Amino acid sequence: MNARFKSIADHALLVTLADDISDDAHDLVIALDKAIAANMPVGVTETVPALVNLLVSFDPVVTDHAAVEAHVRECLEAVEIQATEGTVRRVKVCYEAPFAPDLEPVASATGLSTEAVINAHLAAKFDVLMYGFAPGYAYLSGAPEQIQVPRKQTPIRDVPAGSVIIAGAQCLITTLTMPTGWSIIGRSPTRILTGDPKHPFLFDVGDRVTFQRIDLATFERLNSETSHE
């Protein structure tokens, strides 16, 4: 196993387990993350899994890069790789106007009808690979090949929170009003930011996400309910 270790500042170690994104690479990342969590060494404060690597943060007053690396290597030697089996999460999504400005462009680019794009998105099973870019931005793999489109050449500003966006093989539900170059195919009233400091995001890395279609009236009702919580 050709793991690579890189010191990040004085308080973290980046462990890279593969060069290319794949299910096997991500399963190894998750397995290592769980192995470290099960035997957390003194001084380690957090582990953050990503697509092909794992960031291990620690208190530099208590331990150092060499000690953390040695522990990670021990975990790697004993780790048992299994297919990731997280919690299945269901996210509601409305594909109606004005929430899906890129639905027709995606249909045009893929040669499908808008209903076929929606049905492909609903039939897919997405896996939570990592968090990044902004709070609660969970990168989901699993967009069906027939609806995969590249990022736009020019990002769009002020994309509302809750937008369901796709690019390549990935999907994401935005949590903030921010720009994006991904295609916006719907909007969700499902709250990703939980407000619970112990579990701030709805998903954990390794969870599986499926989408459930709702109409505009249902979206407005659910969105009103969550906004008053």
Q: Could you say which of 27, 53, 78 is where a domain stops?
A: 78
Question: Among positive and negative, which fits the CA dihedral 176, 166, 102, 114?
Answer: negative
User: Of 78, 107, 128, which residue is a domain's last?
Assistant: 78
**CATH number for the domain that contains residue 220:** 2.40.100.10
What CATH number has the domain bearing residue 28? 3.30.1360.40
3-state secondary structure 42-75: CCEEEEEECCCEEEEEECCCCCCHHHHHHHHHHH
Q: Looking at the structure, tell me whether residues 105 and 52 fall in a common domain.
A: no
193-205 pLDDT tens trace: 998 988 999 998 8
Residues 94 and 207 in one domain: yes
Q: What is the pLDDT of residue 227?
A: 64
Q: Same domain, yes or no, for 99 and 144? A: yes
Query: Considering the domain boundaries, does residue 45 fall inside one?
Result: yes
Residues 42 and 105 occupy one common structural domain: no
What's CA 163's distance to the chain center, in Å?
A: 14
Of 27, 57, 78, which residue constitutes the final position of a domain?
78
Range of the domain at 48: 4-78
Q: Are 41 and 148 in the same domain?
A: no
User: Is 83 inside a domain boundary?
Assistant: no
Q: Residue 28 in contact with residue 129, Cβ under 8 Å? A: no
Residues 9 and 120 placed together within one structural domain of the fold: no
Q: Are residues 112 and 13 in the same domain?
A: no
Tokens 């399963």 sit on residue: 27
Looking at residue 27, what is its pLDDT? 86
Residues 116 and 200 in one domain: yes
Both 131 and 159 in a single domain? yes
User: Cα(17)–Cα(5) distance, rounded to whole angstroms?
Assistant: 9
In the predicted model, residues of the chain with pLDDT beneath 70 are 1, 82-85, 227-229
pTM for the full model? 0.82
Residue at 31 is within a domain: yes
Task: Report pLDDT digits (tens) over 67-121.
Answer: 999 999 999 988 877 665 679 999 999 999 999 999 999 999 999 999 999 999 9
Flag whether 67 is in a domain. Answer: yes
Q: What is the pLDDT of residue 156?
A: 94
Phi-psi region of 89 (alpha: psi -120 to 50; beta: other; left: phi over 0): beta
Which pLDDT value is given to residue 85? 67
Whether 213 and 105 map to the same domain: the answer is yes
Which amino acid, 6?
Answer: K
Q: Are residues 119 and 159 in the same domain?
A: yes
In a domain, 208, yes or no: yes
- Distance separating alpha carbons of residues 103 and 118, to the nearest angstrom: 8
| Tally of domains in the chain | 2
99 with 203, same domain: the answer is: yes
Residue 27 in any domain: the answer is yes
